[in-house]
Amino acid sequence: MIFRWGQVAAFFLVLSGAGWLLYPSEYFRGQMHRQEGDRSQSIEFFSYYLERHPYHKGATIALAAAYEAAGRPDEGLPVLLSFYRHRRGDFESGQAVVRLYERCAMKKQAADFRWELVRDLRNMPHPERRQIEAILYEAYQRASAAQDDEGTLRALSALASLGGKDTGYRDQVLRLYLVRGRFDKALAMLRENLLQEPKNVELRRAVVRLYRLRKMDQEALQEAAAALEALPGNPALLGDRASLLIDAKQWARAEADLKLLMARQPKEPAWPQELARCMLEQGRIEDGAKILEALIAQDPDDMRRWWGLVYAYADKGWHGDAAGVLERMHALQPRDEKVFDTLLYEYQSAARTEKAITLLTRRVRAAPADGRRGRQLAYMLQEEERFAEAIAEYRRLVGLDPADAALWKALAFLEESRGSRDSAIDTLERYIALFPEDPKAAEDLAGLLAARGDRKRAIEILKGLFKAPTAAPAGAVQ
């Protein structure tokens, strides 16, 4: 014999030991099942394995995967869920459940489970903020895309409560409340935040704005006052209160705030403008005007400042002063038609029509082809009973624009009223030559001719009037 019995026995003993050590475990053997077909073998194996080794992670994942590979993912859900609930707070398995819900197109259940996962993660001894934020952020974006307000608010509130300096989520919650008209909720949220941040200017202003939005001006004023107690002299809050006081027509109180603001922000043009307005409203025209003049002096090229002063005077009936300002504006911007027109108007309002006429005359001389200004001038002269000049201007205008019927008629009327009958007849004849279809003009002409004694011509004109069917002149009412 080559070997002794003892050596043979030792050999088999070692072999058995090695086999015992190396032989694959049941689980490992299960993993070696061929992945094919309907996975019934794998499913059966891992189901049985889990009965005897509950909550074995590898077997759980393998069983769920087998169900998915068999095209039965819904059956894998209870398996994963059961495992997760045994190991609450396990991020990896929790995410696996969420993803499986989504793959099974069970969006509502996925969304609900996310909240369960977040709650569990928060209850962990050392919660991982990033994990929680990632889940909540996704929940927020998906709910926001679907305009699921409840879901969005819930996610945003949870994100905001995670802490940190980023106020973006809180602002989004506020925005959502406001957009959906849930003002009471928005206000409650703002108040709650103010308790923690009483000196937060933006929060304070948001509350004031919210009251204004609801047209609760008294409450807004009270809020502004409380805000200024907490933050004395804050320009933004002062500006808000001043604006409220102006809306409430409390000019004196607004004036006090605006003076403070001007002292703090001397370059801001809005404050002197509003201050001037307050003074004007209280009847202190000169004081208000002084403020506006100072404002203009700071930036003479800003025409809005000039207009502010013009309106300040004009609204209070100080047309002469308004005209004075406009004269200065006109000197700066001679081509500005709005300035020109307003100046004319203010001259007339201030009973200084002769100045308006002088201004217009200068314009017409500089631009004789400007028919509009010529007409304005002619009319003004007529109103001022400077008839000769008016007639001269009308004559010039009809030469410039013979197609304007109104000019002819105005001229003829004026000539007649000044006793220049022959001129009026001549004007009407020339008019009718251009506008033969105007029966009224023909009648007027006939009347003038008859008055002059030229009855034959008058009758001819009237006969001509009754012969053809008269077409109404353009614009006449049928």
Q: Residue 71, interface with another protein (CB under 8 A)?
A: yes
Part of the chain binding another protein (CB under 8 A), chosen from 69-77, 337-345, 358-366, 435-443: 69-77
Q: Is residue 174 within the footprint of another protein (CB under 8 A)?
A: yes
Decide if residue 105 touches another protein (CB under 8 A).
yes
Phi, psi dihedrals of residue 228, rounded to the nearest 5°: -75, -25
Tell me the backbone φ, ψ of residue 459, rounded to 5 degrees.
-65, -40
For the CB of residue 86, give the shortest distance to another protein in the complex, in Å: 25
- If the CB atoms of residues 99 and 338 are measured against another protein, the closer one turns out to be 99
Note whether 246 and 254 are within 8 A (CB): yes
- Is-contact 143 108, C-beta < 8 A? no
Q: Which of 44, 47, 69, 405 binds another protein (CB under 8 A)?
A: 69
Residue 112 touching another protein (CB under 8 A): no
Interface residue with another protein among 13, 18, 213, 294 (CB under 8 A) is 213
Amino acid residing at 271: W
CB of 243 or CB of 376, closer to another protein: 243
At its nearest, how many Å lie between another protein and the CB of residue 177?
8
Q: Does 210 bind another protein (CB under 8 A)?
A: yes
* Residue 180 or 362 with smaller CB distance to another protein: 180
Determine, following the binding rule CB under 8 A, whether residue 134 of this chain makes contact with another protein.
Answer: no
* CB nearer to another protein: pick between 182 and 396: 182
Contact of 261 with 277, CB cutoff 8 Å: no
With a CB cutoff of 8 Å and minimum separation 6, the contacts of 427 are 398, 408, 411, 412, 415
What residues contact 122, with CB distance under 8 A and at least 6 apart? 132
| Whole-number Å distance between alpha carbons of 146 and 154 | 14
- Pick one of 179, 188, 366, 434: the residue that binds another protein (CB under 8 A): 179
Whichever of 189 and 462 has its CB closer to another protein, that residue is 189
Residues touching another protein: how many (CB under 8 A)?
Answer: 31
C-beta atoms surrounding 117 within 10 Å: 24
* Nearest approach, Cβ of residue 117 and another protein (Å): 17
**Contact status: 328 vs another protein (CB under 8 A):** no
Shortest separation between residue 364's beta carbon and another protein, angstroms: 31
Among the residue ranges 17-25, 136-144, 410-418, 430-438, the one whose residues contact another protein (CB under 8 A): 136-144
146 binds another protein (CB under 8 A): yes
The answer to whether residue 333 forms part of the interface with another protein (CB under 8 A) is no
Determine if 398 is a binding residue for another protein (CB under 8 A): no
Site for another protein contains 145 (CB under 8 A): yes
- The one-letter code for the residue type at 103 is R
| Separate counts of helices (H) and strands (E) for the chain | 27, 0
| CB of 72 vs another protein, minimal distance in Å | 8
Question: Which tokens go with 110?
Answer: 């996925």
432 binds another protein (CB under 8 A): no
CA angle at 15 for the pair 13 and 18, rounded to the nearest 5°:
110
Q: Report d(CA 452, CA 448) in Å as an integer.
A: 6
**Residue 174 beta carbon to another protein: minimum distance, rounded to whole angstroms:** 7
Token pair 């007649």 is found at 416
C-alpha 365: how far from its chain's center? 47
CB of 206 to another protein, least distance (A): 8
What tokens does 91 get? 């991020």
CB 94 within 8 A of CB 115: no
Q: Are 81 and 109 in contact (CB under 8 A)?
A: no
Sign of CA dihedral 247, 251, 252, 255: positive
Q: Which CB, 116 or 149, lies closer to another protein?
A: 149
- C-alpha 472/C-alpha 133 separation (Å) is 81
Residue type, 471: A
In the region spanning residues 286 to 325, those forming contacts with another protein, defined by CB under 8 A, are none
Cβ closer to another protein: 210 or 280? 210
Q: 68 or 384, CB closer to another protein?
A: 68
Report if residue 33 touches another protein, rule: CB under 8 A: no
Give the N- to C-terminal CA distance of the chain in Å, as an integer. Answer: 144
Nearest approach in angstroms of CB 208 to another protein is 10
- Residue 103, interface with another protein (CB under 8 A)? yes
Phi and psi (nearest 5°) for 400?
A: -75, -40
Contacting positions for another protein (CB under 8 A): 35-39, 68-71, 73, 102-103, 105, 107, 137-138, 141-142, 144-147, 174-176, 178-179, 206, 209-210, 213
